[in-house]
Amino acid sequence: MKNSTENNAVQLPHPFADFFLKPNSLRQQRIRTFVLITVLVLGGLSLLTQHRWVLTTDFEKDFLAVYVLAQTLAHGYDISIPVNDLARKYEINLNKPAFVHPSPHPPTMGFLLMPLALFGYRTAKVVWFLVELTSLFYSIYLFSIIKRKPLSWKWTLGITLALQTWHPVILELSNGQVHGFLLLCLAGTWYAMDRNRPVLAGVLLGLGLLIKQLAWPVGLVFLARKDYRALGAAAVTVLAGYGTVALWIGYTPVYFYLTQTLPAVSALYQNHPLNLSLWTIGNRLFQGTPGADFAGHKIALIPLLTAPAAGRLVTVAIPLLLLLVFWRSMGRMKDSDILLSLAVCLSIVLNPFSWPHYYVLALLPLAQAVHLFAMNHFPKRETNWFLVIAFFLIPTPFDWKNLAFLLSGMRYDPGHVMVIHALPSLVILIPAFAVMGLAVFLIRVGCRNTSRDNEAK
């Protein structure tokens, strides 16, 4: 009787539900039209702001590493040379050093993006900006057609433009990053899984891994579900990509990247205050960091207790614990859509370094959550939980940094190192905790749906 009462309480619709569930009423049509016009205007203004980056030559943006890698693969040069030196080889004059290390991106990315080498740096920026924007548009459209409720092009465009006001998307586009394209690969993987096309799902995941190794937890979903066709297709795609690059530039540069460059760059940035990965908790609490640049400010993290061994233990224990919970959840749930969303959540927070623009990938589990709400008529309690999670994803890392500095009881002194203590520094990781909160919500809903299916049988 108690369970029945709780289930009925969950089914109470949220006050916002009519906006989605009764779109044909005159009142809701007017509201939707107003919302659409508002997001088009605000998103358009934000997009014009993005053009300030596209129409100016800023060689310190992340796109420099992407462009130089594409040029290096196109000309067959050594990918282990620092980005600054390669930029000069291509007559890109840097006002000051941008990247003193080799490109951290996999050589397979440079191979796939070699067409950018046909253009000058400024033109290539515009081309890639349009590719990223288009990828975001089609990702949103794929999210809608997966559940066979496609959005109109107006709403797809409106949502795409509205996202231009979200900090991860702003950083993604203004820095010329690749996660918009990676999001499209994951959206395609989700679509292929839903349409029971495992080989296509594996190939699209493999393509995403060739762009960036970020989404590897999705492979665990294929393994747990014994979908060996999808897993095999992903593995063959990755091996074929690295094999082709090895034939193109030689085996030694690829081996050097995997064994030297990747670990060295990971170690360089792992303790950075802006790193939102859960791998950083151990270092924040027990080791701290020296003064590091954070958007023009020097920030030092003071440990709670200087204990390097404890820091290393916590650093390893948290990811292993999350992987264990994820693996057990895969055994308890049958919904592959929810499992994919969980894998994407892990992809964001379990990478050794996770920058704010990585959170563009959170659009996939967020879309999955909205689908679940719509299926259950937007239950009030769970919808409120979702809104709280979404709220914590809105502020920028710089807002959380300022709050952490305030909680440390320090006084801002321009030109000096900003000191943040260990526990307040965890505030900077609130976006990562929000993503894990979203994962907990998905696990709860997935287990509940599985229990209902078992009871129905």
Spatial separation of the C-alpha atoms in residues 230 and 221, rounded to whole Å: 10
Q: Could you give the maximum distance between any two Cα atoms of the chain, in Å? A: 75
Question: Are 206 and 221 within 8 A, CB to CB?
Answer: no
DSSP state letter for 261: I
| Single pTM value for the model | 0.88
CA distance readout (Å), 112 to 201, 231, 440: 19, 21, 35
Per-residue pLDDT of the chain (457 residues; tens, 9 = 90+): 344 444 444 455 666 565 555 555 666 666 667 666 776 776 666 666 665 655 565 555 788 889 999 999 998 888 888 888 888 887 777 766 678 888 889 999 999 999 999 998 888 988 999 999 999 999 999 998 887 678 888 888 888 888 888 889 988 988 889 999 999 999 999 999 999 999 999 999 999 999 999 999 999 999 988 899 999 999 999 999 999 999 999 999 999 999 988 888 887 787 788 889 998 898 888 888 776 666 566 788 888 888 888 888 998 899 899 888 888 887 777 788 899 999 999 999 988 889 999 999 999 999 998 888 777 777 778 888 888 898 999 888 888 888 888 888 776 666 677 788 888 889 999 999 999 999 988 888 777 766 666 666 5
Question: Are 360 and 215 within 8 A, CB to CB?
Answer: no
Question: Are 319 and 419 within 8 A, CB to CB?
Answer: no
Which residues, 6 or more positions from 152, have their beta carbon under 8 angstroms from its beta carbon?
A: none
For the chain, report the end-to-end CA distance as a whole number of angstroms: 20
